[in-house]
Structure 1
Amino acid sequence: MSTTAGASLRPSTGTLLDEHDVLLLDLDGVVYIGPDAVPHAPSALQAAVAAGRRLGFITNNASRPPEQVAEHLRELDVPARDEDVVNSAQAAADHLASRFPSGSPVLLVGTTGLRVALEAVGLRPTDDRREAVAVVQGFSPDLAWRDLAEATHAVRAGLPWIATNLDATVPTPGGPAPGNGLLVDLVARAAGRGPDVVCGKPERALFDAAVQRLAARSALVVGDRLDTDLQGARTAGLTGLLVLTGVTGVRELFAAGAHERPDHVGHDLRSLADEHPGVETAPDGVSVVARCRRAQVRVGDGGLELLTAEAGQDGLDVLRAAAVAVWSRADNGRSVSGEQLTAAADLVERTVHPPG
């Protein structure tokens, strides 16, 4: 068997904490969900800091200023300093400050976090589109129809429009809920055009700012979303770890395009202390056989077949082998149908269980 370069999860040379000096962590769905910590996240991050690793918290959620986010993290027993939080509101404010003089009024479509970011770079938030030089839109659970209407009028009038991010959903204790991307889309549909600039993940500006702020030599991006966290890691040339505690599930992982696939996958943040295996593949007629340690699968025209499922206590080796086999087929023009993806995910999910 051989490793498939375009499709494969790559092996680590030790634990992920051995390989990386800085962890760039998404928040929602990785460290916490709403008011509560993701199980095992605080203890895993405490252990990382005790091992000498630095933590950076990078988030597209611009609803709260960094100081409030860091305070929330500390309340959850996560070691966090105010300056370790980097959000898309700061990236958007920096972009606007590079274009407009200090004191310029900017129509604020968002909440406190975005207001604080604008004021920190010398811009003046306003709710009056008639005096604004630009529009900036970030997530707020309290946005009203009038706010979106005011943004629409300003965008239709031709003002530059900056979006902090295009996340379609945000995780909540009850499951995914509408995110900033859907609210931006409402304005775009009404105004007849999209935003001029998007500053959050998966664009690399947020990652570059975090790497520079934390003086990272070998940063690891940790996220729960393929289309923001993991795509952003690839865009920024950084290693990416997907944790299965938020938005992305097994089926979504199988369907991942080459531009958003992770380098590693784990159940939760405890996987930072693990060594991560690679996956080897071999053609088998029109099928692909993939092996991760003692787990082996075949993916062909009929879907996924488990050949051996000796995958350890958490079953992740089966998941790893199956994902790479599906990706390898897709990369060679033999994609797996949606129905087969669902069936494969159902089969693998019966094998994969987080450790206690």
Structure 2
Amino acid sequence: MRPVAPYLRGSTRRLAEEYDVALLDLDGVVYVGPDAVPGAPEALAAARAAGMRLAFVTNNAARPPHVVADHLTELGIAATASEVITSAQAAARYLGERLPGGARVLVVGTSGLEQALRERGLVPVSDATGQVDAVVQGYSPDLNWQMLAEGAVALNRGVLWVATNVDPTVPSPRGPLPGNGSLVAALRMATGREPVVTGKPDPTMHRESLLRSEANDPIVVGDRLDTDIEGANAVGCASLLVLSGVTSVRAAIEAPPKLRPSYLGSDVSALLVAHPEPRVVDGGAVCGAWQAGCTDVEGDAALILKQAAGAAASAGSDEAGAGDLDAWRALCAAAWAAFPDRGADGIRVHPDTDPGREAAGEVLGRLGLA
């Protein structure tokens, strides 16, 4: 894989032609709850037609790969079980490399973990009354007090504890709901123990994805900065942040270096376009028809957006409407250049006072920054 720096990159070719495999997060990227993200089935089919292979990578350990593949197919996204990579598989590989064959692993989760453990020659168990060699915990909508109690009993004996992820929330049509991290917190409080985390952003998950997808030059596509993007940066993999899940435009602008993506897009259709690289100039950055700069407003750092003189919208910049993505790219590039070693927490964003102020204000409004 090529080196990846924590600033926006450009690609004159469509990303589906630039990279061989898209490592796609599921929740918030491909679907939200039971429904596909609008346009995702068509965009992913077009990416395949362009020669890109797809791997569906999820921190959710609740369902076995074949169940996930069947769900994707029902949503109009052709998928096979071999293309689905779960945090349960990464956790099971981690345990399989450290425990003898036939070791008994207490499952605080559901069937996805049980199947993954059996594939590694381990024995899943559901209670702590007998021998338990390790505890593995993954997201399950059916997890209850009894499961947590059995986990606490085993953990108090000092056995290895592996969590498939510590995502605090999962997206849903009703908004964020408690994720595995919220459930892990219950056992952390009850036992004073800390788990080994093998899901994103830990490199264990990325290694599992590469082994199973056989990717040479992949790109991670995700909606979370602290799992998808941080995990990609940790292993030097290119990444595409999309807005179809939990992350906002502002969160990307304020991101510290380890959470900064390589590319920005509204959704997975961003795989089907070229991406302009913002030009970093003194005091700011230019992308397409927009220029952003970091300045001082009433004693505080602020980002100013204005129309770039003589510039035109970039090709493929209309995913989010009329060059809005170019404005977002310019704002991110300017903020990251002004704060190279830390995040731009709480930075204010304003339209410039020049004649283009109204247009800049409208763009900021659409981006949720006004």
TM-score, normalised via structure 1 length = 0.90
Q: Quote the residue 1:350 is aligned against.
A: 365
Mapped pair 1:150 → 2:150: yes
User: 1: distance between equivalents of 2:258 and 2:341?
Assistant: 15
Aligned to 1:187: 187
Residue 330 of structure 2 aligns to which amino acid in structure 1? A
**Structure 1 unaligned regions, length at least 5:** none
Equivalent residue runs for 1:320-339 within 5 Å = 320-331=329-340, 336-338=344-346
* DSSP-derived class of the 1:56 partner: strand
> 1:61 — aligned with what?
60
Q: Deviations over 1:144-182 (max 9, x none)?
A: 122222212222221110111111111111111111111
Query: What residue is the counterpart of 1:208 in the other structure?
Result: 207
Q: Distance in 2 between matches of 1:246 and 1:141?
A: 19
User: Aligned-pair distance for 1:21?
Assistant: 1.3
Of residues 324, 327, 348, the one that matches 1:315 is 324
Query: Shift in Å at residue 137 of structure 1?
Result: 0.4
Q: Kindly indicate whether residue 87 of structure 2 is the aligned counterpart of residue 88 of structure 1.
A: yes
- Aligned to 1:350, the other structure's residue is in SS state helix
**Aligned equivalent of 1:225:** 224
2:170 alignment partner AA: V
Structure 1 CA distance, aligned partners of 2:65 and 2:49?
Answer: 23
Segment drifting more, 112-121 vs 133-142: 112-121
Which residues in structure 2 correspond to 1:261-280 (within 5 Å)? Answer: 261-280=260-279
Structure 1 Cα separation of the partners of residues 164 and 350 of structure 2: 33
Once the two structures are TM-superposed, the CA of residue 314 in structure 1 deviates from its matched residue by 4.3
In the alignment, the residues of structure 2 paired with residue 170 and residue 337 of structure 1 have an alpha-carbon distance, to the nearest angstrom, of 24
C-alpha distance in 1, partners of 2:234/2:94? 19
Give me the whole-angstrom Cα distance separating, in 2, the residues matched to 1:110 and 1:16: 36
**Aligned residues: percent identity?**
47
Amino acid at match of 2:281: A
Q: Does the 8 Å contact 1:301/1:336 carry over to 2?
A: no
2:138 is matched by which residue type in structure 1? G
What do residues 313-339 of structure 1 show as CA deviations (whole Å, max 9, x unaligned)? Answer: 241000011111112222267x64526
Deviations 1:43-85 (A, max 9, x none): 0111111222211011100000000000000111112111010
Q: Structure 2 stretches of 5 or more lacking a match?
A: 353-360
Q: In the alignment, residue 158 of structure 1 is paired with which amino acid?
A: G
What pairs with 1:7-26 in structure 2 (closer than 5 Å)? 8-26=7-25
Q: Deviations over 1:3-53 (max 9, x none)?
A: xx9653111131101201111100000000111000110001111112222
Q: Please, what is the CA RMSD of the aligned residues?
A: 2.3
Native 8 Å contact 1:185 1:194 kept in 2:
no
1:292 is aligned to 2:287: yes
1:278–1:108 Cα change, 3 Å:
same
Map of 1:119 onto structure 2: 118
Deviations 1:265-316 (A, max 9, x none): 0001111111101112223xxxx32111221112222212222176552410
The residue correspondences of 1:30-41 to structure 2 (distance < 5 A) are 30-41=29-40
CA contact (8 A) 1:208 1:236 kept: no
CA distance in 2, matches of 1:314, 1:155: 53
Which position in structure 2 is the counterpart of 1:103? 102
**Is 289-298 or 36-45 further displaced after alignment?**
289-298
The residue type paired with residue 250 of structure 1 is V
For the structure 1 residues 306 and 342, does the alpha-carbon distance in structure 2 shift closer, same or farther, using more than 3 Å as the test? Answer: closer
Give SS of 1:306's match: strand
- Identify the residue that residue 46 of structure 1 maps to in structure 2: 45
Q: 1:83 to 1:342 in 2, by over 3 A?
A: farther
Q: SS of 1:331's equivalent?
A: coil
How far 1:341 sits from its partner (Å)?
A: 6.4
In structure 1, the partner of 2:72 is: 73
Give the 3-state SS of the residue equivalent to 2:348 in structure 1.
helix
1:159 equivalent in alignment to 2:168: no
CA distance in structure 1 between the partners assigned to 2:100 and 2:350 by the alignment: 52
